[in-house]
Amino acid sequence: MQSQMGFQPTILLLKEGTEESQGRSQILSNINACVALVDTVKTTLGPRGMDKMVIKGKDQVTISNDGATVMKLLDIVHPAAKSLVDISLSQDAEVGDGTTSVVVLAGELLKQAKPFVEDGLHTQNIIKGYQKACQLAKKHLTDIQVDVSNKSEEEKRQLLEKCAATALNSKLVSSHRDFFAKMVVDAVFHLDDDLTLNLIGIKKENGGSLGDSYLVDGVAFKKTFSYAGFEQQPKKFVNPKIIALNIELELKSEKENAEIRIENPEQYQSIVDAEWTIIYDKLDRIVQSGANIVLSRLAIGDLATQYFADRNIFCAGRVTDDDLRRVCKATGAQVQTTVSNVIPSVLGSCGLFEERQVGGARYNFFLEAEHSKTATILLRGGGEHFVDEAERSIHDAIMITRRAKKHHSIVAGGGAVEMEVSKYLREHARGISGKQQMIINAFAKALEIIPRQLADNAGLDSTDILNKLRQRHAQGNGKWFGVDIVNDGICDTFETFVWEPTLVRLNCFEAATEATCLILSVDETVRNAQSEAPQAGPQMGRGGRGGLPRGMAGRGVRAMRGR
């Protein structure tokens, strides 16, 4: 009857209780969620950025202004806003700095796109324009970068110190940035050409001040858990031989369900003797190898500890994997999984080993190693939260220094790059007709959020600062002019040594654009209800009797499934 009158039944494809939203309102909802998240973290940007206190659980408190750390700790539920967390973490993993900048820029790109969406412009046009603007921005950035590959070694070292100091300028340890910048550069110069990050150890010890921190030319780690007999072992060696093991050196109790059938007491005694014979055989082979220091990833029990103490050998069990890897890299030792036929070439060596007191703990130091391709930074500070934030700051500076050493090109910071690229995009847009001109202009305007936010966070008049910067960059002789936090104005940030690797800005532009395009391309969200017991019989359509069973669709009908 219905088909004769021209009515079509409504086909229900999704489970009852499924939430579904689509169209322009969905895109605007995603934009609003991302902008709300950006408003939370944008005040951490720059040298005068504020810190965030994030409390998880009862006692886990983190105080930080590192964008990636804050974004990771926030329990974000909105699925679109989670993409901003992803780009922040990717920026941290790839470059190490600029984690707040990439989130702030992505949020501003979305904010600039919002009026176009409200006016009915298709988001694919916006995505196309943003991608084109990003390519132009990256190209212009590589054109204006300063190549330092032809500098002398001393000039390169000074350059790296300036880049590290710029990374530390916005951190809690900014008052000691020159002190830590030199330390970070020295640590990076200890590494191989592959610049493996894990070979720089950062150890934290509460007490003292930041100025008491120092760089260890070698490896240092906190004394591991020890048994009786440890205090009888020597704590200092000159030119020792080091053996690194992945073996457990202690007597293990039998499993609870183990069953052994014996006929007389002598057989039981032979089983006990065999266990002791096995452990003593291992210890004898280690002693015969000539090693003075025994390190193992696994436990070294009280029997082995006393055995080594009687023979003037130092041992440490349960050494963390990172620390053992650094010791092997520095001393040339190779980790052994057996003590059978230990040859001299697998043993490591260093000029000096000793145990020292650092604050309230004792540390083992491996110094003057011939193969030393690693370093350790011992951080001191007044409180636990302060030292934790100092560690995150040093990590960012190390990442920046590694990238600058590998890629040999820098640009000026302080918003100077963003203002210069913004000017270039505005000039380029004048030669384009149609909608793309407006979108590229919107991208150019979004770039100005970096200097604007730097000025706002410093308590300056951001409108006045931006007008001065636009004027300077438009004149053509001030491409490196950015926000001057010290004198509350603008200055040539290249002359004031506010430098950063080009890779930081390139990755920032690209990651922010990709995240923005991803969010703008989502026009529908389907949220499934909690799984329920299936109901008997087919699920009928809302409009008549001809509905399809749940989960089935006829030809030409699009089935949707959310997770």
Query: How far is 410 from 156, CA to CA, in rounded Å?
Result: 11
Looking at residue 90, its amino acid is: S
Torsion of CA 491, 497, 500, 501, to 10 degrees: 120
User: What are the residues whose beta carbons fall under 8 Å from the beta carbon of 324, sequence distance 6 or more?
Assistant: 244, 295, 297, 335
Any long-range contacts for 251-258 (C-beta under 8 Å, 24+ apart)?
251/275, 251/276, 251/279, 251/301, 251/303
Has 388 been annotated as catalytic?
Answer: no
Query: How far is 402 from 486, CA to CA, in rounded Å?
Result: 28
Query: How far is 106 from 516, CA to CA, in rounded Å?
Result: 6
Residues forming beta bridges with residue 124, ordered by sequence position: none
Selected catalytic residue, list 92, 388, 396, 456: 396
Has 396 been annotated as catalytic?
Answer: yes
Query: How far is 379 from 387, CA to CA, in rounded Å?
Result: 7
Residues forming beta bridges with residue 378, ordered by sequence position: 203, 214
CB burial readout 535-557, b (16+ within 10 A) else e: eeeebbbeeeeebbebeeeeeee
Find, among 373, 445, 407, 393, the residue nearest to 192 by Cα.
373
Contact (CB, 8 A) for 27 and 117: yes
Torsion of CA 426, 431, 436, 442, to 10 degrees: 10
Task: State CA 189 to chain mean position distance.
Answer: 21
Beta-sheet strands, E only, within 171-277 = 200-206, 214-216, 218-222, 236-238, 241-245
Has 100 been annotated as catalytic?
Answer: yes
Selected catalytic residue, list 99, 224, 376, 516: 99
Has 192 been annotated as catalytic?
Answer: no
Structure tokens at 93: 């993993």
* Helix, strand or coil, per DSSP, at residue 307: helix
User: What are the residues whose beta carbons fall under 8 Å from the beta carbon of 272, sequence distance 6 or more?
Assistant: none
User: What are the residues whose beta carbons fall under 8 Å from the beta carbon of 458, sequence distance 6 or more?
Assistant: 46, 47, 48, 483, 485, 488
Structure tokens at 169: 């300028």
Sign of dihedral through CA atoms 36, 40, 41, 42? positive
The owner of tokens 């210069």 is: 420
Selected catalytic residue, list 44, 100, 374, 502: 100
* Helix, strand or coil, per DSSP, at residue 502: helix
Catalytic (active-site) positions: 66, 99-100, 396
